[in-house]
Amino acid sequence: MKGRRELREFIELPFRLHSTSQYWCPPLRLERHSFLSRKRNAFFTHGDARLYCAWRDGRVVGRISAQIDHAYNRYHQSTTGMFGFLEFADDPEVLPALLEVASGWLRARGMTEALGPMDFSMNDEAGVLVDGYDREPMIKQPWHPPYYATRCEEAGLEKAMDLWMWEVEIDDREKLLPILFELSDQLEPKHGVRIRKMTRRSLRRDMDRFAEVYNSAWSSNWGFSPYSEEDLDYYAGELQLVFDAPWFMVAEKGAETVAVAITVPDINQVLQKMNGRILPFGWWHFLRRRRIINRCRIGFLGVKPEYQHTGVAAGLYVEHFNMAAATRVKWGEAGWILETNRAMNRGMEAMNGRKIKTYRMYRRALA
């Protein structure tokens, strides 16, 4: 990508493609510029990327990124490249051209396969929406019209993994299985585990505790990549903007962290009103966000393997229901959860969850 004009076109494309949709949520343009900055985004401390636009008749009709996460490849001992930021007009020639230019960049750097889409990693927006088109996306979820999945199949992309989102009504305790309350009540007297809430001052320190749990509980998951110190610094900065103490939880046994749950109020409800801009009135909606937001995304809920028998997950589930009783937030979505993660998907069923969205990750051989 060459110059500021193309970067601006890269950022503006989804606004042109989806602005008439009642479901798509416009991102904050200023945040997108910051996220794509090599100086600001921690991804570039362990990865590299190239952004591309597809043009037709002087107009951008598609975009894609090609990236290599060296930390991911070191962990998996692989030669995997990624692609992301996928947006394109409903034109059968656009996506194949985008995939070919991204694949060429990855091949030239020794990559033998490409996974995606992801922006830039699996912990940001990831996947192509293949089910749940009639629902608004929550924070860090993409939204795509149905033709995206069709064009991906036509372009020869192979399914790698499905990511599921579960809807959970967290204000109705009657829908919870009774065993969850029993396990929660036994958590401290039987196992010595207690749940506390993070504070804004402790957030960065607690991100280290989060990484300890994440790197233990998710290490065998498909698509896993460990967090670096720079990643945690960046992530903590992002979370400061949406921090809400009742929903940021740590479970501890003495001085040891055994589980973490980070549930984020859905700032997309505010971004819908801001329409991508802080000025002239976007700032007003952001300041009033606590009066606007009534839903959340349960993004991370992890337990160290050696403590999964204690019922600490049940304790965190029950605490979410307690917080729903005390706040405006009454429902949310949990995930994404891998389609192969039977334990977490069973947990969602135990909370009377309903699977309502599917995001598909694709693979393309480069060798």
Helix (H, G, I), strand (E, B) or coil at 275: coil
pLDDT band with cut points at 50, 70 and 90 for residue 252 = very high
Query: Is a pLDDT exceeding 70 seen at residue 359?
Result: yes
Query: Is a pLDDT exceeding 70 seen at residue 10?
Result: yes
Residue 163 near residue 358 (C-beta atoms within 8 A): yes
pLDDT digits (tens, 9 = 90+) for 134-161: 999 999 999 999 999 999 999 999 999 9
Q: What was the pLDDT predicted at 367?
A: 79
Query: Is a pLDDT exceeding 80 seen at residue 171?
Result: no
Give the 3-state DSSP-derived string for 199-214, with helices as H, strands as E and coil as C.
Answer: CCCCHHHHHHHHHHHH
The highest-confidence range among 1-5, 103-107, 169-173, 225-229, by mean pLDDT, is 103-107
Residue 239 near residue 206 (C-beta atoms within 8 A): no
Q: What was the pLDDT predicted at 325?
A: 86
Q: Report CA Rg, the chain.
A: 21
pLDDT digits (tens, 9 = 90+) for 307-345: 988 999 999 988 988 888 888 898 899 989 999 999 889
> Among the residues of 108-140, which ranges form H helices?
none
**Sequence-separated (6 or more) residues with CB below 8 Å from residue 232:** 204, 207, 208, 210, 211
Q: What was the pLDDT predicted at 299?
A: 81
Q: What was the pLDDT predicted at 269?
A: 87
Can the peptide bond before residue 117 be classed as cis, meaning omega within 30 degrees of 0?
A: yes
Interstrand relation of 295-303 and 331-338 (parallel, antiparallel or unpaired): parallel
Q: Distances in Å between the alpha carbon of 271 and those of 24, 254, 283, 297, 340?
A: 11, 40, 10, 15, 32
Q: What was the pLDDT predicted at 170?
A: 79
pLDDT band with cut points at 50, 70 and 90 for residue 300 = confident
Query: Is a pLDDT exceeding 60 seen at residue 59?
Result: yes
d(CA 167, CA 337): 12
Residue in this structure with the two tokens 């320190």, named with its chain if needed: 205
d(CA 307, CA 99): 43
d(CA 236, CA 204): 6
Tell me what the pLDDT averaged over the chain comes to: 91
d(CA 84, CA 182): 43
Least confident of 64-78, 175-189, 210-224, 265-279: 265-279
Query: Is a pLDDT exceeding 70 seen at residue 32?
Result: yes
d(CA 288, CA 277): 15
Residue in this structure with the two tokens 């991804």, named with its chain if needed: 43
Q: What was the pLDDT predicted at 291?
A: 72
The tokens of 342 are what? Answer: 């039977």
Query: Is a pLDDT exceeding 80 seen at residue 207?
Result: yes
Q: Distances in Å between the alpha carbon of 203 and those of 13, 198, 240, 259?
A: 35, 6, 8, 15
Partner residues linked to 363 by β-bridges:
115, 158
**Sequence-separated (6 or more) residues with CB below 8 Å from residue 221:** 338, 341
Share of the chain above pLDDT 90, in %: 70
Q: What was the pLDDT predicted at 267?
A: 86
Q: What was the pLDDT predicted at 68?
A: 98
Give the 3-state DSSP-derived string for 158-178, with helices as H, strands as E and coil as C.
Answer: EEEEEEEEEEEECCCHHHCCH
Helix or strand run (H / E) with residue 27 = none
Residue 90 near residue 83 (C-beta atoms within 8 A): no
pLDDT digits (tens, 9 = 90+) for 256-299: 999 999 999 898 888 887 776 765 555 555 656 667 888 999 88
Q: What was the pLDDT predicted at 56?
A: 95
Q: What was the pLDDT predicted at 229?
A: 92
Helix, strand, coil percentages for the chain (3-state, nearest 5): 40, 30, 30
d(CA 239, CA 261): 13
The tokens of 87 are what? Answer: 């947006």
Give the 3-state DSSP-derived string for 286-332, with helices as H, strands as E and coil as C.
Answer: HHCHHHHCCEEEEEEEEECHHHCCCCHHHHHHHHHHHHHHHCCCCEE
Q: What are the structural domains, with CATH classification, of the chain?
A: 3-165 (3.40.630.30), 167-356 (3.40.630.30)
